[in-house]
Amino acid sequence: RLLVGKSEFFGKRSLCGRDGFTRLDNLYYLVNSNILGKYTVIPLEKWFDYRWYKIVIRGEHERLAELCEDMLPFFGDRIEMCRSGASFLEMQSVGTNKGVLLEYLRRYCEEETGHPVTVWCCGDYENDLQMLEKADVSVCPANAIEEVKDICDMCLCDHTEGLMADIVETIIRQKGGDR
């Protein structure tokens, strides 16, 4: 588990403040917790010494926007940042987004089957945009953010109202099959 924090929220009894941000000497630190509950504080400049692919940070929208603004100049083009929900910010190594993975998956499936495949993808937030753009058919729930709705081929029901069942039924109908 990795936490990112700012020092002004440090309490004497806790390693990270209640909103999960810690900054010491105006720099951000990662706090790495292992399964034994022991913590390692990792200075910002050492983040890339550790093998990580994605860091997901949970917090209030305004605090995440501040974190993103602070991190971008430091990391430059070494990381990609996007929101994966109203309260989540994802930081990942460049080239490890869902769109890149989709291309690998497509190539693998086509090599294994020996023929082209049609890839359907469903997403609802910023972290899904690159994947949806690379999909053959892109689908989103009715409660997706507008940016996602704008690029999707289909917008179906809300994710809590049977979205996956609607997608499967749509695929079956398009193939001319019965339930």
Written as one string, the DSSP assignment of 117-163 is ---EEE--SGGGHHHHHHSSEEEE-TTS-HHHHHH-SEE-S-GGG-H
Give which of 124, 58, 133 is closest to 91, Cα–Cα: 58
pLDDT value, residue 37: 59
pLDDT value, residue 41: 64
* Residue segments in the chain with a per-residue pLDDT below the cut of 70: 1-44, 51, 177-179
pLDDT value, residue 138: 96
CB atoms within 10 A of CB 108: 11
pTM: 0.74
pLDDT value, residue 26: 45
pLDDT digits (tens, 9 = 90+) for 114-166: 999 999 999 999 999 999 999 999 999 999 999 999 999 999 999 889 899 99
pLDDT value, residue 7: 38
Whole-angstrom CA distances from 138 to 121, 144, 152, 154, 160 are 5, 12, 5, 7, 18
pLDDT value, residue 39: 60
pLDDT value, residue 96: 83
φ/ψ of 3, rounded to 5, equals: -120, 145
